[in-house]
Structure 1
Amino acid sequence: MADVRSLPPAHVLFANTGVQIVAVPLRAGVRYASAQIGYGWQRCLVAPSGPKSNVPKAIPFVQWQIIQSQTARLFLAIDTTCGNPEEGYFGDAGTLVKDFTLRLENILDLAGQPLRGVPAVEVCIRPAAATAGDAKGVHLVVDFGNSRTGALLVELSGEVAQQPLMLPLELVNRYHLDAWNEQGEFQARPSARWFSSKTHWCNTPYLRPLPQKRVEYRVIEEEPRAGWFGRGKGGPKQVKVEVVAAPPLFDDLSMVRMGREADDVLQVMRAEGDIRTGVSSPKRYLWADDASWLEGANWFMADPADRCQTGAYAATLQGPYLRFLHEDDRDFLLAEEPPQEGDFASEKPLKPRHAPRALMTAALYELLCQAYAYVNSAAYRNASGDASRPREIRTLTLTYPSGMILEEFKRLEAQARKAVAIFAATLGKSQRVRPELNLGIDEASAVHLTYIWSELLMLGQDPRLWFAAMRRERARPKAASDDAPPPAAPAAPAAPRRLGPSARRPGAANRLAERDEAFGDSADEIRIACIDIGGGTSDLMIARYRFEAKIDDYVRGEVLHQDGISLAGDQLVKRLLEVIVVPQFARALGLEEEDAIFLFGPEVPRNRAYRAQRLHWMNGLFVPLAQAYLNNAVDEVRDEPITHTDPEIVDPVVLESLQRVFDKVKGPGYYNAAQELDLYFNAEVFEAVVRDVFDELLFDYCQRMVQHEVDVVLLAGLPSKLQLIQQLVRTYLPLAPSRIVPMDRHYAGNWYPYQDESGHNPGVIVDPKSPVVVGAAIHFLARNGMLPQFKFSMKSRQRENSYYWGVMSSATSGIRRERILFEPSDPHAKEEITEFSTSSQRVIIGRKMSPNEEAQASPVYLLKMDAKDRIGETQVAVRIKRRRASPDQEESLEVIAVTGTVAGEEAVLGENVHFVWRTLADERYYLDTGGLDNIEWSFASLAGR
């Protein structure tokens, strides 16, 4: 029951801060049957409080669940939204002038009996604006990667000497609710600060509110009465109307789960067959704007509480969030006019086949909802100070890869804007302002800024000292034409086949002498390069920096060169699996090669029925083994075995799934999934794998850095922790080792938000991916005048690169010489058009900056012939034009005409021939199919002992 007694409340919440969770430990020894507590959240009913009533009292703004572990805990989800109490809200904002105290006791279980062992719980909902002031603004900064994602919460404290506070967002597992300890206290969990970017559909976190009855008084126009006894004209009349409607409570409508929770809810599912529930990272699928990736399948969602009552803890995709999402992912939420009722989509589509890129919006919405709940929790308010004031999400800042193409950048921005719009219409509806979106800095530039800011702080924030210490004497070349070679640079001490000075690449960015010299002193200029090896892309960014010392010290950067290649950590993991892990796994378990290929190899019609299980094995068995192998490689641990029977690495549920398929395919007892793996780190084999993946790329990047005469090189991203990666860069660059700075274990200072939680090595960066999100936060603060006496700006990329464009090989990520369509252009050349002919129904066109045939290319476009169900000859001649780069448009291609036939019909551009952008060469990505296409068996004997 609810009352307003003056008893001291145990839990203080703020009005209009969404849904807040309260954890209450129960006394030891109390256990409950599932028939009493069910699964997941339950609606709150309490026993009648007086002798005159025997009807349970509903409290619509509260839901509860009990999670039983070593100590059972009662969780309360309390919706703090203000509204008419007759509609189910706790209270009206207009009359809420003092604390509202809710005393909950005698909560009824599903059988209608009071829950045993549950104490009375008191919760205070406080009108903060009337007592402590308006909500403080919190700025959410997100680094959404292809493999891992992390976010920072930034707010300012102080009035005169404002100090920025950065706290990592820890993703809450909504299924296990393990962020609360046995005492019911929210606890810091560093492992939840960086989480897998995998995103899977799941039912909403809370139950939908039930319709409530309320009385309304409406004014209607009374019609005039006719006849002898009529009273003349009609007039307004007040009538009493009973309305039944569900209030918008618990409108955290998130329908995706990320990170570990995604694995947890998928493991509960009992559905079999080729079902699709999500992707390894929605950022990888921003190009996917229709249902073709689904290949005729429907989306399914996890339903861990079985609310849809399918018995499989899974159901076809349905729910209130889908109201904002059409299957073609149209951008109706971004129109200038507010959407009308007819603009929204169905909450229960007949065939849910939404475009995969829609998961990007859903994932960002999930992060916004989690951030909003967390910043208004007692745990965050106590940790950040000023605990008596609520919080608002004021801005959302996203980073993006340095080599991201313009079309992909615009789509990322659109998906983020839609996430903000959905948040503002649902959970964030009580905020005074809608969060503002910023895509202000690329990932490699953000690493630059983290490094620069940490160096300046250690020098008393005096840029004069740092620039004087780090600059190198550099000759000033005279201005030259674009095609004139630069002064010869000394050769890098590379392998014998790579000796010699680096010549300037055609079409490269103009050199320093051709740039604006107006800002600062060119003698103090410092050039910094960053190689950021992420999960999906490896980015290179080279910039020059100068400063002016005035009232506000002003550091200005200018990008000299930027590129990104779709080859990074995920490819290293894939090759580790193909060369070391899977072959050794098959050898240790005694799998016949044919069976290993069937279970773990490429997807073919024969194994498609096991797609869900293969995905489970890939992401729950093999990828964790590869990560454990990489951890041993970082620390060079050679004598510690890695095994899939270790529950800290592989969940036993995954092995049970594999054993069931073993028994089904080969018969019981033929293979034993619990056989010890006997896998050890082998430096020789591992070096061969790393060189196979990264050697050409790193040499190419180092040559470009030599061309631009860089002073400092930064290495970021998780693979940069590997000593071999660091050694390759040192080998290929003529720089002192002190000027090649791995961000892993680099001392940044005690202010750094990602440190070793155990207190070892304070101020040291423990995750080389974290400088990206930290740098983006620093950039946001500096750009908005929130850093004292410091100003920073980065001159935007001129988008002046010119590329080698060509048809990519389906077997590799390169472009053969005979398939080059355009070479780097002469700025003075006329418009370029070329023509080629193909009989393929799918042609990937990519770009690269190196003339080397073995150099990796990044996919950019897809030429797609739509044959539908027709059978016939396909032969199409394509005329394609290169559009030159301009200050606001990067170099791009355009198909201007096609001739020929598509499956026997005349080829028509826009009808059966389509030219669209696509940044993933193979939509059957191994993390989303569970299949490896190049398993090698030659090193298996070297991987074990």
Structure 2
Amino acid sequence: MLPEVTQFEDTVTLVSDTGIQFMDFALRLDPRKEPAGEFAPMISGLICRLSYNEEKDFFFYEPEPEKVEKAKPAFSVDMKSSLELLDGIWLPTPFFRFMPPHRFDEGPTNWSRMRLVKLATPDIDGNTHRLTMAFDSRVMPKRDGTAYLAPNEEDISSGVSFKLATKASETRWFLAQPWVNEWLLEVFNEGNAHRSRAELDTDIRANYHLAHYLNLLSLLSTPSAAQQSTARAKVEIPELKVVANDSNGLVKPIPVDLVLDVGNSRTCGILIENHGQAGSGLKQNYVLELRDLITPEHTYNLPFESRVEFAQAYFGKDHCSVKSGRHDAFQWATIARVGNEASRLASRRRGTEGSTGLSSPKRYLWDENAYGHGWRFNCSYIKTDSEPYATAAPFSHLINETGEALYSLEEDDRLPVFMPRYSRSSLMTFMLAEVLAQALSQINSPAQRSRQGHTRVPRQLNSITLTVPPGMPQAERSILNERMLQAIGLVWKSLGWHVGEEDPHQDQAVSPRTPIPSIRVEWDEASCGQLVYLYTEVNENFAGHPEEFFDTIARPDKTDRERITLATIDIGGGTTDLVITDYRLDRAGNTGSGSNVHIVPEQRFRDGFKVAGDDILLDVIQDFILPSFEKALQNAGVKAPDSLMSRLCGDESVSAQDMILRQQLNLQVFAPLGLALLKAYEHYDPQVPQEVTPQSYHQLLGDNAISKTVLDYVNAAVRRDVGGQSGFDLYEAQISFDLQKLHAAFLNDQINITKILGALCEVVAHYPCDVLLLTGRPSRLPGIQAFIRKVLPLPPGRILALQNYRTGGWYPFHKNGRIDDPKSTASVGAMLCLLCANHSVPNFYFRASALKPYSTVKHIGVIDLNNVIKDADVLYRDIQSEDYKIKLPEIGVGDAADTPQLEMRGDLRLGFRQLATDRWAASPLYTLRFTKAGREKFSRAIGENGSAPLLKVRFEVKPADKYTRKQYLVSDRLSVRDIESNCNNVNFNPRSDLELELNTMLDAGLSETKYWLDSGSVKRK
């Protein structure tokens, strides 16, 4: 979407050292009606754009302020050709130190860029173009004899202004800069590649490349008095003043808290400013907004895709910028893009070497091994024949080849990355770093400070809160915490806020210039959804009287009217979770029935399963989308469409090039069609008859949705199969959205998630729940709601889907006072938890500190390929917790008592479940396998009396780390303690012969794993 255009004051403050800051402006232009630029040569060999005096009918320029020099035009350049040539191109901007009334300094020269782009369609106000101005806010030290490249400390302390220069006398020295001239020359040559070299050289000698730039610059100017014109400026660019980003200054920065709900499928965030007033957190908050760095005229403030892609952020021609004397101008702090931008990059990837990103790094948190294929930059929108390795300053100078922060390693191991084999787990660091960089830019952006008030006061990040799925093992939660810590440390170092090689979180010698935010990875997503409901009911509907709400909502058979039980089924993109929590009113021993009470939570049950929204999408693709593709292939004459589909979108082994194209076929065609069907289904009403009409893929996907390479990939496969020209057109394939059939599939258990929902509803029915809440985007689907009401864990009136639930205006993501996307309940609930933990929510005293989760790892054993742990395969039963870690049960008595041993005959997977019944779905946790040395030993091992070799492995629990203890959590990280075997000819070492690796991927098997969104393999085997 297009960002809101802010009506800035005449002078705007820019906060120093806050990365790259953006300002957005809108213009309404008709290039055909804009007057052409008239140009005349100057003595310096440059040209100037002449102004026109309308009243006296003559052209002139101003060699000095308020001095008019008449001139005759030597040539003209129409505005239309200039706008076409420079459309969407980053250009250096003459934004200089200004001394009223007319004097400009010669600099700073390399701290401002501009980009004007024509919109595909005018915006709601009729504007046809968007201007994005970018400022590198880093301050450079002032040194005698060096170029004035960026604002310095003296500029800040003296409060000088900076202003856009547009007149000839103000800009001629800037255009004479070799690096500026080279930049504009390259743009001119690239935009006129279709013309002959002789023609270009003639125009270049006449300075046409400068003429186009001056035409563009003229659109940003204000008519001078000498023009005697009544025309208004097309856009008003304010003056700038730079203020210090200093915690120790006279003006104390406003602390800002960031709340993030990072999902497997989508992520959303909220920023909360603390203005020092009671309850300000519920008023001074706003949604995290991401700026698209490829098309910076777009921003996104809705929940965004969790996809991450390696891609460099460019703000023009860096090789020209370096020649100014500033080597690090406009360096974005990170090297990965997220959200819509990442999705667009992934679907348009051209290269075949290595990988460029992941559908969701959260799915691969467990995988800390080096990624053998290596990582490349996605260059979909850059004219290049190759994809370079994913390394770029400053970020790559701070990590090793597996993506770990150098400061987190031993001193001898601190080798910067040469070949990027970042672990898939480390991509969570890259993703969080990019989100953090975007948040830091947003909180101090001129537009955001203007909206929040206190526009001249800097903002600083105070804390970061991450939500987690209820069923996430503590081992994974600790990794997520470490990823967030490293993301902060790396961004702080990239921005120059911490210098040196030490850990910025612990460095006693060098304090960070900007304080480091605290981290909370504490509250689960489903509990946060409950808090949204609880707060809304108590404060919005019952005027701050929890006792009245509790009495109203409690089941009629309850005797304790000050205790309620809420259950939540939260269906995300990657996990479906259940939390059941008791809430009681705590009067601290006092009698009475007033509203001045604490609300104290106590979790009764929580669990989660890795079957969720993405699995619904996969089922829809397989059962409702692919049949239409198969029929289109049959109509084209393909005799065995099933076999062809196995190559195009199945798991048949293909070349590296075809693997990329298979992924893109899914990202460009099948997944968008599946999402379109689900979006239509969200509005399905079983009571209203639906007309099923065929539509083409083109009608549903739109123009240019499928790249030429993907079309050629499918067409070539069809031609090979039919043995010649087929006339097959993927765009013209027909599909019918039968919503009634999809609804029946949910009710008839044909969608995989219904098996999980049935089991969770069975648990809900076991507890005396007062209300069952449904949260997460898939909870909007009529089939989900209908299935839950079919199994009826509670009376229908006590089952509440939070979609369209009326919250009022306090809810940051509300649409007309209602929840439109239930995905947002997790981040909003976490915001409430944070505010309650800080005791800053008036008339709502929720004890967030009491939300302490217990370990769901109760039974550990060997998990089969159906993700079931049979009773005979359970190794540890009824696991309890003590001293911040799970306690493995022992067998035997006295000195002979010890933990059970696992028999190992080859690689295997270990998993866990919470309930004692083997029909309860289990979750994978570890892969136990031989190392290369162990495999060789086992191959030549001979058991006693010539029997087959057998190992008996005993495990132990690693002690809780500092983070786990601080959060009052429980460590469940296992390690191999010792090995016994029946072999006499070899000895096995637990450290060198076996490896126990965390692996929570549902369909992991024992080989390399790729999720279907990463592989494109969507056809059923």
Could you say which TM-score interval applies, normalised by the shorter chain? 0.7 to 0.9
For residues 93 and 916 of structure 1, what CA distance do their matches in structure 2 show? 55
Residues 1:37 and 1:802: Cα distance change in structure 2 (over 3 Å): closer
Specify the code of the residue in structure 2 equivalent to 1:448. Answer: Q
Q: 2:631 aligns with which of 587, 595, 609?
A: 587
Residues in 2 aligned to 1:738 and 1:791: alpha-carbon distance in whole angstroms: 28
Residue 299 of structure 1: aligned partner: 375
Q: Which amino acid aligns with 1:118?
A: L
Taking the aligned partners of 2:95 and 2:276, their CA distance within structure 1 comes to: 45
Report how far residue 320 of structure 1 moved: 2.4
1:601 paired to 2:650: yes
What is the aligned partner in structure 1 of residue 113 from structure 2? 63
Q: In the aligned structure 2, how far is the partner of 1:913 from the partner of 1:533? A: 37
In structure 2, stretches of 5+ residues that fail to align are 1-7, 32-78, 99-104, 121-127, 186-208, 222-236, 498-511, 588-593, 882-886, 892-897, 940-948, 961-967
CA RMSD of aligned residues (A): 3.9
Normalising to structure 1: TM-score of the pair?
0.78
Partner secondary structure for residue 595 of structure 1: helix
Q: Structure 2 CA distance, aligned partners of 1:814 and 1:849?
A: 12
1:363 equivalenced with 2:431 (yes/no): yes
| Distance in 1 between residues matched to 2:744 and 2:415, nearest whole Å | 52
Shift of 1:431: 6.4
- Read off the aligned partner of 1:365 and give its amino acid letter: A
Residues 719-728 or 764-773, more deviating:
719-728
- Which residue identity lines up with residue 977 of structure 2 in the other structure? I
Q: One-letter code of the match for 1:281?
A: S
Does structure 1 conserve the Cα–Cα contact (< 8 Å) formed by 2:764 and 2:793? no
Name the counterpart of 1:327. Answer: 401
Match of 2:731, SS?
Answer: coil
Residue 858 of structure 2 corresponds to 803
Number of corresponding residues: 819
Distance 1:818-1:245 versus aligned 2 partners, 3 A rule: farther
Q: Is the 8 A contact 1:195 1:259 kept in 2?
A: yes
Change (3 A) 1:269 1:331: closer
* Alpha carbons 1:203, 1:301 under 8 Å: kept: yes
1:135-146 to 2 correspondences below 5 Å: 135-146=253-264
The answer for the alignment partner of 1:275 in structure 2 is: 354
Which residue of 2 is the match for residue 198 of structure 1? 307
The one of 86, 101, 107 aligned to 2:162: 101
Deviations 1:469-494 (A, max 9, x none): 12236679xxxxxxxxxxxxxxxxxx
For residue 199 of structure 1, report the CA deviation from its aligned partner: 0.5
Distance apart, 1:724 and its partner CA: 2.5
1:856 is aligned to 2:856:
no
Runs of 5+ unmatched residues, structure 1:
1-6, 50-54, 180-188, 215-243, 477-521, 757-761, 936-945
Q: Counterpart of 1:571? A: 615
CA 1:140/1:648 → structure 2, altered by over 3 Å: closer, same or farther? Answer: farther
* Gap change, CA 1:208 and 1:392, over 3 Å in 2: farther
Residues 1:8 and 1:701: Cα distance change in structure 2 (over 3 Å): closer
Question: Quick one: structure 1 residues 330 and 57, their matched pair in 2 at CA, closer, same or farther if it must change by over 3 Å?
Answer: closer
Give the structure 2 partner of residue 614 of structure 1. Answer: 662
Q: For residues 48 and 371 of structure 1, what CA distance do their matches in structure 2 show? A: 28
The residue that corresponds to 2:297 in the other structure is 178
Structure 2 counterpart SS, 1:735: coil
Take 2:216 and 2:318, find their aligned partners in 1: how far apart are those partners?
27
Corresponding residue for residue 4 of structure 1: none
From 333, 345, 348, the equivalent of 1:253 is 333
Out of 837, 840, 860, the position equivalent to 1:786 is 840
Deviation at 1:569, TM superposition (A): 1.1
Residue 394 of structure 1 aligns to a residue whose secondary structure is strand
Between the aligned partners of 1:642 and 1:405, the Cα distance in structure 2 is 46
1:689 Cα offset (Å):
5.4
Which secondary structure state, in structure 2, belongs to the residue aligned with residue 154 of structure 1?
A: strand
Of 1010, 1016, 1020, the residue aligned with 1:924 is: 1010
Asked whether the 8 Å contact 1:754–1:770 carries over to 2, the reply is yes
Residue 466 (structure 1) aligned to one of 545, 549, 561: 549
1:125 pairs with 218, 240, 244, which one? 240
Amino acid at match of 1:634: E
1:283 maps to a residue whose letter is K
Verify the 8 A CA contact 1:878 1:895 in the aligned structure 2. Answer: no
The amino acid of 1:860's aligned partner reads: L
Matching residue's letter, 2:373: A
Distance 1:213 1:538 in 2: 50
Q: Letter of the aligned partner of 1:117 in structure 2? A: L
Supply the distance in 1 between the matched residues of 2:286 and 2:476 (Cα, whole angstroms): 29
Q: Does 1:353 align with 2:421?
A: yes
User: 1:269, 1:314 within 8 Å by CA — same for their partners in 2?
Assistant: no
Q: Could you tell me which amino acid in structure 2 is paired with residue 727 of structure 1?
A: A
Aligned twin of 2:569: 531
What is the distance in 2 between the residues matched to 1:31 and 1:415? 49
Greater displacement, 551-560 / 153-162: 153-162
SS at match of 1:302: coil
Match of residue 436 from structure 1: 518
Residues 1:389 and 2:457 are matched in the alignment: yes
Q: Which has the higher helix share?
A: 2
Alignment of 1:851-930 (within 5 A): 851=916, 853-867=918-932, 874=939, 876-881=950-955, 888-889=969-970, 893-898=974-979, 907-921=988-1002, 922=1004, 923-930=1009-1016
Of residues 287, 299, 303, the one that matches 2:366 is 287
Match for residue 34 of structure 2?
none
CA distance in 2, matches of 1:394, 1:888: 23
SS of 2:928's equivalent? strand
Q: Percent of pairs identical after alignment?
A: 22
Q: In the aligned structure 2, how far is the partner of 1:792 from the partner of 1:781?
A: 10
User: Which is worse superposed, 56-65 or 782-791?
Assistant: 56-65
Comparing 859-868 with 534-543, which one deviates more in the overlay?
A: 859-868
Equivalent residues of 2:312, 2:336 under 8 A apart: yes
Q: 1:720–1:76: structure 2 CA closer, same or farther, 3 Å change rule?
A: same
Residue in 1 that maps onto 2:682: 634
Given the alignment, which residue of 490, 497, 503 partners 1:422? Answer: 490
Letter in 2 for 1:150: C
Question: What is the 5 A alignment of 1:34-49?
Answer: 37=86, 41-43=90-92
Equivalent residues in 2 for 1:6-85, closer than 5 Å? 9=10, 12-24=13-25, 27-29=29-31, 30-31=79-80, 37=86, 41-43=90-92, 59-69=109-119, 71-85=128-142
Q: Is the 8 A contact 2:26 2:129 kept in 1?
A: yes
Whole-angstrom CA distance in 2 between matches of 1:301 and 1:869: 37
Kindly state the Cα deviation for residue 19 of structure 1 after the two structures are TM-superposed.
1.6
Could you tell me which amino acid in structure 1 is paired with residue 579 of structure 2? M
Q: Which amino acid aligns with 1:862?
A: T
Answer yes or no: is the 8 Å Cα contact 2:473–2:972 preserved in 1: no
Secondary structure of 1:678's match?
strand
* TM-score, normalised relative to structure 2: 0.73
User: Bigger CA drift: 393-402 or 376-385?
Assistant: 376-385
One-letter amino acid of the structure 1 residue matched with residue 999 of structure 2: R
**Structure-2 separation of matches of 1:889 and 1:132:** 44
- Matches of 1:162 and 1:907 in 2, distance apart? 62
| Residue 717 of structure 2 is aligned to residue 665 of structure 1 | yes
Question: 1:915, CA displacement in angstroms?
Answer: 0.9
Instruction: Note the C-alpha offset of 1:814.
Output: 2.6
Q: Aligned partners of 2:81 and 2:988: how far apart in 1?
A: 67
Distance 1:147 1:197 in 2: 5
Contact 2:777/2:823 (8 A) holds in 1 = yes
Residues 802 and 209 (structure 1 numbering): CA distance in 2 closer, same or farther, change over 3 Å? closer
- Given that residues 406 and 415 in structure 2 are in contact (C-alpha distance below 8 angstroms), is that contact kept between their aligned partners in structure 1? no
Shift of 1:867: 3.4
Distance 1:436 1:930, change over 3 A: same
Q: 1:414 deviation in Å?
A: 0.6
Distance 1:447 1:213, change over 3 A: closer
Letter in 1 for 2:711: Q
CA–CA distance in structure 1, aligned partners of residues 434 and 342 of structure 2: 12
Do the aligned partners of 1:15 and 1:125 also contact (CA within 8 Å) in 2? Answer: no
In the alignment, is the contact (CA less than 8 A) between 2:336 and 2:434 conserved in 1?
yes
Deviations 1:408-452 (A, max 9, x none): 011100100111112222338396422221223111111111111
Distance 1:909 1:869, change over 3 A: closer
